Structure 1
Amino acid sequence: MELISVAAIAENRVLGSDGELPWPSIPADKRQYRERIADWPVVLGRRTFDSMRDDLPGSIQLVLSRSESDFGVESARHAAGVDETLDILDALGHERAYVIGGAAIYELFQPVVDRMVLSRIPGAYDGDAYFPEWDRDAWELTEQTPYEEFTLEEWVRDRE
């Protein structure tokens, strides 16, 4: 199973401010993001899950939380940590799943993701949530697709 982080990040790795995007809405980015993850399981934290409740992404939501609770959504499942999440994903039998945030979830899963799909937003922004740093020598930038308001980058972990 391939595990892929998907995030929109500014040049200074900022991805959020007070639970919101720090830049104006970019419809083309939202569209490509939603289309990419629509039919796949997604991994996200409890606060990110709660912020998306009105329009949940993915086919199944694996919600990382310290406490198990009923999310009130049939497609949502609880996971206590990275290992349990990976076990659930393996049991589901999908060929891929997406890690979609927040910042602490990206940090937890950075050592185990196989690929990153990053919408690079021009400029530096103030914020309180950052995408984790990564060793660029351990990753290969395999594709860059320019859009009017962002550049979509695909990174693959070098497994050699």
Structure 2
Amino acid sequence: MIISFLVAMDEKRGIGKDGGLPWRLSSDLKRFRELTMGHHIVVGRKTFESIGKPLPGRQMIIVTHSESFAPEGCFSVHSISDAISFARERGESELFVCGGAEIYAQMFGVADRMYLTLVHADSEADTFFPEWDSSEWIEVESEHRTADEKNQYPFTFKVLARKSQV
């Protein structure tokens, strides 16, 4: 099973502001939907609460410390290893890790691939993607997009693979 990060970040690694996304990028949301449809998604409790509901066509696995947090239509676990096991036992081919910052940090050592949307802006974020060693990753795809009426900032879609997986 491939473990993939799916993340949008600004040029300072910002990924969130005031409990939500610090930008509106319609193309990024469309890409998120296309990539994750039919797959398992791992998120932390705070990220799930910012989304507000289970996403149709995907099995959401929520990593939480709470014994009672169990939204209908989702599966709650207490560790990243439980999340990985849950998806693997159900025959998942690619598990998507979709935030937040704590979940990315906990799963960084096991990620094989990164679907990155690099937002060319400083969003004044208050939540950040973990620092990472870019020398461990190789860029396999890159597509630049300009800002328009549906995309607040210019951005670049990138796909990175861990060098040990190439």
Q: Aligned-pair RMSD on alpha carbons?
A: 1.6
Q: State the distance in 2 between where 1:142 and 1:59 align.
A: 26
- Unaligned 5+ segments in structure 2 are 147-153
Q: Which runs of 5+ in 1 are unaligned?
A: none
Q: How does 1:81-160 map to 2 (within 5 A)?
A: 81-148=79-146, 149-159=154-164
Written as runs of structure 1 = structure 2, the 5 A alignment for 1:43-58 is 43-54=42-53, 56=55
Q: CA deviation at 1:57?
A: 5.8
| Superposition map of 1:26-65 within 5 A | 26-54=25-53, 56=55, 59-65=58-64
| Alignment partner, residue 72 of structure 1 | 71
C-alpha displacement at 1:70, in angstroms? Answer: 5.1
Deviations along 1:76-115, one digit per CA (max 9) or x if unpaired, are 1111112111211211111111000111111111111100
Please name the residue that 2:16 is paired with.
16
2-structure distance, mates of 1:15, 1:48:
11
**Is the contact made by 1:103 and 1:129 (CA closer than 8 Å) also made in structure 2?**
yes
CA–CA distance in 2 between the matches of 1:64 and 1:58? 19
Once the two structures are aligned, what percentage of the paired residues are identical? 30
1 CA distance for matches of 2:15 and 2:118?
A: 10
For 1:44-82, what per-residue CA distance to the aligned partner results, in whole angstroms no more than 9, with x for missing partners?
A: 0111112213462651111000123252322x1111112
What TM-score do the two structures reach when normalised by structure 1?
A: 0.91
Counterpart-to-counterpart distance in 2, 1:134 and 1:58: 31
Query: 1:6-30: CA deviations, max 9, x gaps?
Result: 011000000111112223x111111
